[in-house]
Amino acid sequence: MAAGFKTAEPLEYHRSFLKENCRPDGRELGEFRPTTLNTSSISTADGSALVKIGNTTVICGIKAELTVPPSDAPNRGYIVPNVDLPPLCSSKFRPGPPGEQAQAASQFIADVIESSDLINMEELCIEKSKLCWVLYCDIMCLDYDGNLLDACIIVLLAALKNAQLPEVTINKETDLAEADIQKKKPLKIHRHPVGSSFAVFDDSVILVDPTAEEESLSTALLTVVTDEEDRLCAVHKPGGTSLSGEKLQHCINRAITRNKEIRKLVDKVTESTKTAK
C-alpha cells in the first residue's frame, strides 16, 4: 500500500516523513549517506578514483599530456574537466551530445578548480611558452541517485591526489621532450575543496544530500563548496525558490563540518595506498 501511495502522491509521501523529521530512507534531515572512496581504479590512467555516496557512483580518470601552453598564459599549464552523464546512470539521460546538466556540471567543476586554487598551475609548466602539462579529467557518473556535484568534487580531489606524473626534461640538442617513466612524482595539492549539496523542500525544510527523487520534488537546490580554511569557494544555487539569510548560514555551517569529514576520508585512503605500496 505504501508503494502505491508513493507512486501516486510522491510529494505527500515525502511530506509525511518530514513531519516526523526524518526521510524515507531512514536518514535524519542533516545526515549524509555513507561515502566510500577507492583510488587507482583505472590502471591505464595517470590518476583515478571512484566514489560512492549512497547509490550515486562517480568515477574519474586523469590523463596527463604534454602541450604548448596557451599564448595568454605562457607559464601555466591547465586542467580540462569534463563531466559525462551517460544513459547508463539514469533513464532521464538519452544518448547523444552532452545535455544541459552535464555541461553545467562541467562548468561548475572548472570554476571550483579555479576558485579554490586546487593546484598551482605554474607548477604544471615545464618550460615557459614551450611545454606544459594539460590534465584531462574525465568524470563519469555510473549510477545517478542525486547529489552529483558533491561526488564529482570528491572524486576529482582524490584522483588528483592519486595522480603521478613522470619527470619531463627537454633535451637541449634535439629540443624534444623526454619523459622519464621510471621517476614519477605526485601532484602538489594546495587546497582541499569539498562540496555539500542541499535541497529545499516546500520553501521551508532543508534536506542534506538529496537523492534523485528528493531532487526532483524539491523547490530549490544549493551546493556550498568550502576549503580547509573555512573559506567559501562556491555558493551555487542555480535558481528555484528564494532562501533566507539564516537558512543559508545554517547550510554553510553544515558544509564546514562535512569538509572535515571528507578530508579525513581522503587522507585515510591516500595513506592506505602509500603503505600498501
Q: Where along the sequence are the contacts to another protein (CB under 8 A)? A: 100-101, 103-104, 106-108, 110-111, 114-117, 219-220, 222, 227, 230-245, 248-249, 252
Q: How far is the CB of 14 from another protein (least distance, A)?
A: 18
Query: Residues 168, 66: contact at Cβ < 8 Å?
Result: yes
Q: How far is the CB of 10 from another protein (least distance, A)?
A: 14
Q: How far is the CB of 103 from another protein (least distance, A)?
A: 4
> Which uninterrupted H or E stretch holds 56?
strand 56-67
User: Of the two residues 66 and 70, which places its CB atom closer to another protein in the complex?
Assistant: 70
**Amino acid code (one letter) for 212:** A
**Amino acid code (one letter) for 241:** T
User: Of the two residues 34 and 239, which places its CB atom closer to another protein in the complex?
Assistant: 239
Residues 6 or more apart whose Cβ sits within 8 Å of residue 216: none
What distance in Å separates the CA atoms of residue 63 and residue 137, rounded to the nearest whole number?
7
User: Of the two residues 110 and 126, which places its CB atom closer to another protein in the complex?
Assistant: 110
Q: Which residue has the cell 606544459?
A: 132
Q: How far is the CB of 250 from another protein (least distance, A)?
A: 12
User: Of the two residues 40 and 198, which places its CB atom closer to another protein in the complex?
Assistant: 198
User: Of the two residues 115 and 164, which places its CB atom closer to another protein in the complex?
Assistant: 115
Q: How far is the CB of 31 from another protein (least distance, A)?
A: 23
Give bridge partners of residue 168 from the DSSP assignment: 179
Query: Residues 196, 254: contact at Cβ < 8 Å?
Result: yes
Please give the grid coordinates belonging to residue 6: 508513493
